[in-house]
Amino acid sequence: MKIKRIEHVAVAVKNMQASVDLLENAFGLKLEYEERIGDIKLAMLPVGETYIELLDGVSRNSEIGAQIPERGEGLFHICFEVDDIDGALAELREKGIKLINDTPRAGHGGSRIAFIDPSATGNLLIELAELPAGH
């Protein structure tokens, strides 16, 4: 498996607009785009070759909405960009690494994503993403 870069660092937030404003005003970052996937709103702010991804649960039943009352705002996961997500998942399975997603699903910006079970990574949620061609 070839990891190209850290594609993004995802942060769970209670208030998307307040978090975007903070990153823009305090650090000079600029919002590149916002998107909604299911019951999660996300905002992507580039930092060099990577992104800060802000995640806001639309409902308390969402993965993000359920986490914040328990764990508060903060780091949610780290995403590695890979060339071939199918091959990466096959390699991890061969190594006995427990996966949350056995097959890729639709992700941000038209990417294909999958998550590794945190029990296999020292309790760190890791996402793999294969970006669409030309991205």
Task: List the domain boundaries for the chain.
Answer: 3-130
pLDDT digit string, tens, across residues 104-119: 999 999 999 999 999 9
What is the predicted pLDDT for the residue at 27? 98
Tokens of 61: 């039943």
How much is the pTM? 0.93
CATH number belonging to the domain at 3-130, selected among 3.40.50.2000, 3.20.20.140, 3.30.499.10, 3.10.180.10: 3.10.180.10
Q: Rounded to a whole number, what is the largest CA-CA distance in the chain? A: 46
Q: How far is CA 94 from the centre of its chain?
A: 24
pLDDT digit string, tens, across residues 32-58: 999 999 889 999 999 999 999 999 988
Tell me which residue has tokens 């995403």.
Answer: 79
If residue 4 lies in a helix (H) or strand (E), which one and from where to where?
Answer: strand 3-12
Average pLDDT over residues 71-100: 96
